[in-house]
Structure 1
Amino acid sequence: MVTLLNGVPRQPKRFVFVLMDQFTMLSFAGAVDALRIANRIGGGKLYDIKYAGEGGEVVASSANCRIALDLDLDELEREDTVILCGGVDVQKATSKRLINWLRREARRGVAMGALCTAGYALAKAGLLDDRRATIHWENQDSFSEEFEEVRLTKSVFVIDGNRMTTAGGTASIDLMLTLIATDHGEELASQVADQMIYTSIRTDQDTQRLSIPTRIGVRHPKLSQVIRMMEQNLEEPISPSILAQEVGMSTRQLERLFRRYLNRSPKRYYMELRLQKARNLLMQTDMSVINVALACGFASPSHFSKCYRAHYDTTPYRERGTQGAKAHS
């Protein structure tokens, strides 16, 4: 179908949503609906939407919603835009066939985007090397360890040339609204946002996680500053005395500050941050337990194991074994 745009014939732009096994419905549905609404209020079929995936038949989301596919991993038109949709167990869903297909289509010049965790598949195919990208905050630690060539950001979405990545959730709506504005103007994008009751359109300058004061429920500038330094220095932890010095207080004052607002010592809070990162790496990567320990600031594997067991009531080795059993069940 040819759409008349300001009286000028124009072919609809085709988006091919490639659904990986266990993809996240929210990211997928938000992106598709933004394009659907643009078609409805834009005066014609601006976008053609197709669903593709391995096998070309049916794929299930992580919520067990099943989507009938229009295409297998077939050869596309150069003008198409691929939107890869990921979700749970993205490593398992990233098959050799999918990687080869992504590389082939990329060589032909097809633009590619990735929603939620699907940025992993693009990176695995080498299609994000030396580019800016983002991924869901829960996967950032493991992603940055595995793909050092990618310039990972904490933005809600990133557009770098003909590569697009989002952080998941409603970030796919922000990406689509940006693309609609580029294709057809800000007014249409705003009308689509209004239809979606989407009152605040984010840009690639917005970060995906809540601010530290919002996350911890405390608005104290020095406390936030210390926590930010902790989060940025997990591999090489900073001593409480230096942290205190950096914000202009004594170590004793810092201790009191943490006890008052977070009911734990700075040392304990820092340890919990490091162990949380360690758990993410154990569950999302194939890194050895020793390398996970080093990446989280533990010089000794035995000390790491002891701290991990005290916090999670299991050892890092058993945690890794449990994940392996789940992957093969």
Structure 2
Amino acid sequence: MGTTNNIPTIRIAVVLTADSSLHSSLLAIEPFRAANRLSRQSLFSIDFVTPDGNPVETTLQIVVRPTASFGSDRRYDLVLIATSYEPSSAFKEQLFPWLRRQARFGAHICGIDLGPLLLAECGLLKGYTATSHWTAIAAFRDHYPNVTVVEQLFVIDRGRSTCAGQVCILDYSLCMLERYAGKSLSEAVSNELVYMNARSGDGPQRRFVGEWHWKWNPTLSRASEIMNNALEDPLPIGIVASMCHVSLRELQYLFKRHLQRSPRDFYMELRLNRSRELLLYSCLNIREIGLACGFSAESTFFRAFRSRFNKTPQKFRESFNNAPISRDGRRVY
């Protein structure tokens, strides 16, 4: 497993919020705990941190007792904050000064799932490249133009990390483990966790419906990319075909054969899916969201959205905002 005797103890802080996802926190720290077991050394120390040092109840209704608070003078090498919902203003007022202080002390700060939006709001991602869970990517880009937002599993950019969350937290932590303690120990931990195919950060977060049937087709792949990059100002399908170096008839044939829909319908689906993400995770009003997705007339946006999701944009947003929080920290809607 290589030599680890000269590695100073890496101090890790896991920030717990009210209704934290214990699943995310445990996935984040398990590789480091396994590294301690396998090396028989205290290579990593782990604190669960809350604002006031009081226990918190997670989304699994398990109470976790913290080992530190924001008021302590401890300095950390790696700070992890995972959240899949919007924390309260009171929590953020306590969190942000503590995060900035840890960053000044040289801590590597990592936001997980929707945590990257907190880091951006705190001002810690200005000029950085970052990611988040794919459902929040559109809102992330809209809110924080000074952050280069990409959709991938995780991003490590200088003293900041951002991770899409869920299972890819494990990929991120294994990558960080290799940075801290070397490839040999990281591979041994992968064996211990029976996780043999850790993914690199630049991997995709999701597979589009039916993608395995058509992604191999360079024309359809290119057309999808062109459409995704022009949602605010939709291109005529003939222009898309021209940019793919095929005739309009050939492009229509390929879409019908592999996706059972026209290029126009596929394009509309992309635009409406983007509007859905903005309704869920942005503060834009309905008209602004419609414009951001290529609908110059609000009435046209309403009809198209209701046709796809069986609700008006306002009702859809209200349903989400009023939905209960599930045990994994997400809203059930």
- Normalized against structure 1, the TM-score is what? 0.88
**1:215 partnered with 2:229:** no
Any residues of structure 2 matched to 1:139-154 within 5 Å, and which?
A: 139-154=136-151
Give the number of the structure with larger relative contact order, counting CA–CA contacts within 8 Å between residues 6 or more apart: 2
**1:98 partnered with 2:95:** yes
Structure 1 residue 246: Cα displacement: 2.0
One-letter code aligned to 1:52: V
CA distance in 1, matches of 2:299, 2:203: 40
Aligned counterpart, 1:189: 186
| Percent pairwise identity | 28
Q: Tell me, yes or no, if the aligned pair for 2:28 and 2:170 is still in contact at 8 Å.
A: yes
CA distance in 2, matches of 1:305, 1:289: 9
Aligned counterpart, 2:66: 69
Aligned counterpart, 2:46: 49
The alpha-carbon distance between structure 1 residues 247 and 72, as it changes in their structure 2 partners (threshold 3 A), is same
Aligned counterpart, 1:280: 277
Aligned counterpart, 1:125: 122
CA distance in 1, matches of 2:293, 2:51: 37
One-letter code aligned to 1:90: E
The correspondence for 2:203, drawn from 197, 203, 206, is: 206
CA distance in 2, matches of 1:27, 1:102: 19
The residue matched to 2:11 in structure 1 has which SS?
Answer: strand
CA distance in 2, matches of 1:7, 1:240: 62
Aligned counterpart, 1:232: 229
The alpha-carbon distance between structure 1 residues 310 and 325, as it changes in their structure 2 partners (threshold 3 A), is same
The alpha-carbon distance between structure 1 residues 155 and 6, as it changes in their structure 2 partners (threshold 3 A), is closer
Q: Tell me, yes or no, if the aligned pair for 2:35 and 2:43 is still in contact at 8 Å.
A: yes
CA distance in 2, matches of 1:35, 1:136: 23
Aligned counterpart, 2:15: 18
Structure 1 residue 38: Cα displacement: 0.2
* Deviation sequence 1:9-47 (CA, Å, 0-9, x none): x65221110023344444322221101100000131111
Structure 1 residue 301: Cα displacement: 1.4
Aligned counterpart, 2:251: 254
The residue matched to 1:82 in structure 2 has which SS?
Answer: strand
One-letter code aligned to 1:69: P
One-letter code aligned to 2:130: A
The alpha-carbon distance between structure 1 residues 43 and 324, as it changes in their structure 2 partners (threshold 3 A), is closer
Aligned counterpart, 1:312: 309
Structure 1 residue 263: Cα displacement: 1.9
Structure 1 residue 190: Cα displacement: 0.6
* Deviation sequence 1:178-199 (CA, Å, 0-9, x none): 2222222110011011111111
The alpha-carbon distance between structure 1 residues 126 and 292, as it changes in their structure 2 partners (threshold 3 A), is same
Structure 1 residue 64: Cα displacement: 4.1
CA distance in 1, matches of 2:104, 2:43: 26
CA distance in 1, matches of 2:289, 2:10: 44
One-letter code aligned to 1:139: A
The alpha-carbon distance between structure 1 residues 255 and 72, as it changes in their structure 2 partners (threshold 3 A), is same
Q: Tell me, yes or no, if the aligned pair for 1:155 and 1:205 is still in contact at 8 Å.
A: yes
Q: Tell me, yes or no, if the aligned pair for 1:293 and 1:301 is still in contact at 8 Å.
A: yes
Long gaps (5+) in structure 2: 326-330
The residue matched to 2:13 in structure 1 has which SS?
Answer: strand
Aligned counterpart, 1:84: 81
Q: Tell me, yes or no, if the aligned pair for 2:17 and 2:87 is still in contact at 8 Å.
A: no
Structure 1 residue 124: Cα displacement: 0.8
CA distance in 2, matches of 1:221, 1:22: 44
One-letter code aligned to 1:215: E
* Deviation sequence 1:196-244 (CA, Å, 0-9, x none): 111122233333334x697353342212221122122211212111112
The correspondence for 1:270, drawn from 267, 272, 278, is: 267
CA distance in 1, matches of 2:88, 2:236: 39
The alpha-carbon distance between structure 1 residues 125 and 215, as it changes in their structure 2 partners (threshold 3 A), is same
Structure 1 residue 267: Cα displacement: 0.9
The alpha-carbon distance between structure 1 residues 59 and 79, as it changes in their structure 2 partners (threshold 3 A), is closer
CA distance in 1, matches of 2:5, 2:87: 47
